[in-house]
Amino acid sequence: MTTQSPLYHLFLLAILVSAVSCTSLNITNYYHKHRSTLDGMEQIYLDAYNTKPFSIEFTDRPFDHVSLELLTDTLTYIYEFAVGEPRLRDTLFKYGYNPAPINTLIKNMRSMECTWINHLDYYADETRHSLIYISLWPKTFDLPFVNKKYYILTYFSQPQYFDADGNLMTGRRLRRIRKINGETFRKINNKVCYTISAQFR
């Protein structure tokens, strides 16, 4: 048996790392595969947010720690909890939140590897509109020494305008690519768009 040089092994490792780091998921397929869960999450969040506004962030890769932003008229409260910690339920009660939808969301976000769900305002023709912003952090994007990447899904409340390449536009008449949170988005369907971003929010 011939012994390979360390350089050869290093070369193989470099090829392996670059191959893995180029791996990507097809977000459209991913969305359609998990559509019922993702759309369900959006609906639960929207209903709960309209009752009392909040956002949820998972702060670690094992999805064991969750940070809640509870929005009131005067102050935003940010608290971090371990998932399942009784303190979480107590806090929600203290600030008048219904724990049931939030617990369901936390469970679904964990199963979908969703790191952030939020309600975002954007402006078109001087008018305020809103969307739901969901950031997914699938394992494919979690490689050592490689900067993290996130799939971002945006749920609009009404159908949007797109160019021939599927880029989200500002409107039917004003043909300009719309940016949300500094990113350009592409079409999944008339109301749902996606992008891949280095930031989850």
Partner 1 sequence: MAPLALYQGTNTNFCGYAALSYLPLHEDPLGYTRFLLTLYCEGKATWGNVHFDPSPSVRRAAGTLRFKGILDIRPADQLWFLVLADHFRSYLNLLTRHFHPGAENTFWAAVNYGKFNRMIRELFGYRVQAKGSDLIRPDIPDLYDYLTQCLHTGLTYLYVNNTYLHKKNHNKFKGHFPTHFIVLDAIHKIPDQPDMVDIIYWDYGGRTLRQVTLRFLKKITFGVTVCIKQPPPVAPTAGPAPHS
Pick the closer one to partner 1 by CB: 44 or 169: 169
State the residues that interact with partner 1 by CB under 8 A: 57, 59-61, 74-80, 115, 121-123, 126, 128, 137, 147-148, 150, 178-182, 198-201
- The percent helix, strand, coil of the chain (3-state, each to 5) is 35, 30, 35
User: HEC profile for 65-102?
Assistant: EEEEEEECCCCEEEEEEECCCHHHHHHHHHCCCCHHHH
Pick the closer one to partner 1 by CB: 28 or 170: 170
CB of 197 to partner 1, least distance (A): 9
Pick the closer one to partner 1 by CB: 43 or 72: 72
Q: Counting Cβ atoms within 10 Å, is residue 140 exposed (0-12), middle (13-18) or buried (19+)? A: middle
CB of 146 to partner 1, least distance (A): 9
Give helix then strand counts, H and E, for the chain: 5, 10
Pick the closer one to partner 1 by CB: 6 or 144: 144
CB of 177 to partner 1, least distance (A): 9
